[in-house]
Structure 1
Amino acid sequence: MSTFRQESVEDFYEMGEELGSGQFAIVRKCRERKTGLEYAAKFIKKRRLSSSRRGVSREEIEREVDILREIQHPNIITLHDIFENKTDVVLILELVSGGELFDFLAEKESLTEEEATQFLKQILDGVHYLHSKRIAHFDLKPENIMLLDKNVPNPRIKLIDFGIAHKIEAGNEFKNIFGTPEFVAPEIVNYEPLGLEADMWSIGVITYILLSGASPFLGETKQETLTNISAVNYDFDEEYFSNTSELAKDFIRRLLVKDPKKRMTIAQSLEHPWIKVIKRRNVRNEDSGKKPERRRLKTTRLKEYTIKSHSSMPPNNTYINFERFSKVMEEVAAAEESLRELERNKKSFQEDIEALLSIYEEKESWYKEENESISQDLRQIRQELQKTEALKKQAQEETKSVVQAANGLKRRYRKLENHYEALAKQVASEMKFVQELVWSIEREKLQSSEGDGSIR
């Protein structure tokens, strides 16, 4: 859970005029007491109870804060500080004081496509940065495309309001119903998986309005608008696009594609000739050899569009109860899928039961046979075991007898060995005696022979 500063925001910032408001948020101008620098303080009303629909949930606030903390780009609003009290979370944001881009352009008498693409290029750069971080804004519309300061030669675009932005994680399917009806992609309308492609559709709608002052899918009612979006029902009316180049129309066509996978990506849009070519020759017939002349788009209709949008649309024109509607849609989709699954299984259900019964009966019979066979085998094994135990006992007794007999033989062997040694000594002694006797007899014979010879 993210932790925010618990001190009073007014101890550090002096609050000023209100700059704008939404359903659950108020933005006020403020000045940092320590440095004197000006910022915008966005007060977001916290939801007190999880079951309540008043206020913004902690999870949503933390998601917006985590995204703002991660981004740092010249064309995107930056987060400076965060405070929290009992009722609100206060985001201290970069002050964007130049107003909306469309209001700025509507003040001009006319607009060239080159001027339009210079601003559009900044929008694309900001979105390219977001998409490189797998962040989808999901609420790109004119009121969220501001100018940092309009009183400079080349005003800088700032993308604001990341209240419904999401990190698109690979492998995690994400669906929701949110955004401003006029600018949402078909996959949002049809409650299909969402990705970065939804932002590209919104850029296509913004570009269409920027060049014509007309909204491609806006109907008399919200439902008519959503129906037009789902059917991709739009055209390039000559009344509005008589001075628009084919390259500009091609850029829009490649974005207003129903299939998200076939829609132009942010990288491809930056490489599109209408955006990439810095010096563009806007002429009606480029092969005519006439001197190039810039195509100027009248801003009268754009001015009418901005006046109408500010006067007729409520602040932050989004689905007020998108959370509730999203949950209902999710439950409906799950229920429909369950019904389809039941329908698919209905035909084979009875056959499965019959097959199971047949298998059960077969198994039951098999188990009975096996049980009898096993019982017989167990009896036989028990008998064999008893025999084995008897043989084991007999073998133990025989072994004991053999050991005793072996011990007796061992003792007899030792006695015989001792007796043999004694006899050997006795024989040796008697042999010695015999030898000595023989030697004695031989000496006597020798002496006797010597005596007889001397007498003669």
Structure 2
Amino acid sequence: MWISRMAVFKQQRVEDLYSIAEELGSGQFAIVKRCQEKKTGVNYAAKFIKKRQSRASRRGVTREEIEREVNILREIKHPNIVTLHDVYENKTDVVLILELVSGGELFDFLAQKESLSEEEATRFIKQILEGVNYLHTRKIAHFDLKPENIMLLDKSIPVPHIKLIDFGLAHKIEDGVEFKNIFGTPEFVAPEIVNYEPLGLAADMWSIGVITYILLSGASPFLGENKQETLSNITAVNYEFDEEFFSHTSDLAKDFISKLLVQDTRKRLSIQDALSHVWIMPKDKSQVLVRKRSVINLENFRKQYVRRRWKLSYSVVSLCNHLSRSLKKKGLDSEVLKPRNCESDVEDDTVKRKPSLPRRRSSTS
């Protein structure tokens, strides 16, 4: 069995076939570098994933988890999702050769714009939805949707092409098989993750609601002054459309967000529901006009987004530790908390929300 798994990846030095260039990013157990295939001259991104060397070790990623990521990437091919080109392995790393997505993050691109209407914003949201729709029709949940994983293929065109990246936490959801886990980025995790409840495709839809909220305001809906407050806000669905940030936002956009940030997964918009929502797909001329006239306050967006990018004390590991303690109190086996499941491959950039009045339970909960 072990031998057949080893055969999945090419046992060849990646440096013999690719020229490895500068680092593009790094995470807990992965480094991404630009590379060029020597034979063709085509540029790619090489993701070096550190392998766990023994069962006792907590450093690195288990082979099972690496294989899961690779198998999912091999299965998917969509214009809005990063493409896997090849996979290599050496004693310490598995190296994924991926499509080079060089246009930067979507939110960095938006922060540099002089103006942005909701109509323009929905063109980007629709691309995200189409990528997620492709995944969900194949019963694949991404589980780590956040601005840092929404990239642009080329930012030099008016409406750049979006690419979803980082499938390190993605899972295939099997009918009749209960799946529970604790992972993701605290700011974007759904209540069912915090509560250690069965997980499904709906968790991605919650994340899309958070992403849309941030896209329209720069502010983050649930992030509190500390970790406990953030998790409490999520489980209570405690957020509001602050007038300071949403004074020019349409009711259509607020309705879209409100129907995604719903605690009951059965009542949360599905991906098909989201794609057909009138904010994404207007049904009449008046709705089209509303989107054109409603503008995003980019000055507020820039201020809040800069604050989002500050490195704070939050981390995915701290979320895991917090929930691990909670599970122990419930008498659950802490072994369910695998280190890889508590981390994303990308370092967690977190948000500090502007202090506001005491929070009340949202009417959308």
Q: Trace 1:20-419 onto structure 2 (pairs within 5 A).
A: 20-277=25-282, 294-313=293-312, 317-319=315-317, 322=320, 333=330, 335=332
Q: CA deviation at 1:296?
A: 1.8
Aligned-CA RMSD value:
2.3
Which letter does structure 2 place at the counterpart of 1:153?
Answer: P
5+ unaligned residues in a row in structure 1: which ranges?
287-291, 337-456
Partners of 2:278 and 2:287 within 8 A in 1: no
Flag the 1:162–1:326 CA change in 2: closer, same or farther, 3 A.
farther
Q: CA deviation at 1:111?
A: 1.0
The SS at the match of 1:158 is: strand
| C-alpha distance in 2 between matches for 1:278 and 1:313 | 43
Flag the 1:14–1:97 CA change in 2: closer, same or farther, 3 A.
same
Which letter does structure 2 place at the counterpart of 1:319?
Answer: V
The SS at the match of 1:29 is: strand
Partners of 1:281 and 1:294 within 8 A in 2: no
Which letter does structure 1 place at the counterpart of 2:176?
Answer: G
Q: Note the alpha carbon deviations across 1:410-429, whole angstroms, 9 max, x for none.
A: xxxxxxxxxxxxxxxxxxxx
Quick check: which one's helix share is greater?
Answer: 1
Q: CA deviation at 1:311?
A: 2.6
Residue 421 (structure 1) aligns with:
none
* Aligned length, in residue pairs: 328
Q: Which moved more, 1:218-227 or 1:324-333?
A: 324-333
TM-score between the two structures when normalised by the length of structure 2:
0.85
Match of residue 16, structure 2, among 3, 11, 15: 11
The SS at the match of 1:312 is: coil
Q: Note the alpha carbon deviations across 1:85-135, whole angstroms, 9 max, x for none.
A: 011000000000000000000101221000100000000000000000000
5+ unaligned residues in a row in structure 2: which ranges?
334-365
Partners of 1:47 and 1:58 within 8 A in 2: yes
Q: Note the alpha carbon deviations across 1:329-372, whole angstroms, 9 max, x for none.
A: 66654559xxxxxxxxxxxxxxxxxxxxxxxxxxxxxxxxxxxx
- Same amino acid, percent of matched pairs: 66
Flag the 1:313–1:89 CA change in 2: closer, same or farther, 3 A.
farther
Q: CA deviation at 1:23?
A: 0.7
Which letter does structure 2 place at the counterpart of 1:307?
Answer: V
Flag the 1:216–1:325 CA change in 2: closer, same or farther, 3 A.
closer
Q: CA deviation at 1:212?
A: 1.1
The SS at the match of 2:169 is: coil
TM-score between the two structures when normalised by the length of structure 1:
0.68
Partners of 1:48 and 1:55 within 8 A in 2: yes
Partners of 1:15 and 1:29 within 8 A in 2: yes
| C-alpha distance in 2 between matches for 1:70 and 1:166 | 12
Which letter does structure 2 place at the counterpart of 1:302?
Answer: F
Partners of 1:106 and 1:303 within 8 A in 2: yes
Structure showing greater radius of gyration is: 1
| C-alpha distance in 2 between matches for 1:178 and 1:192 | 12
Partners of 2:282 and 2:288 within 8 A in 1: no
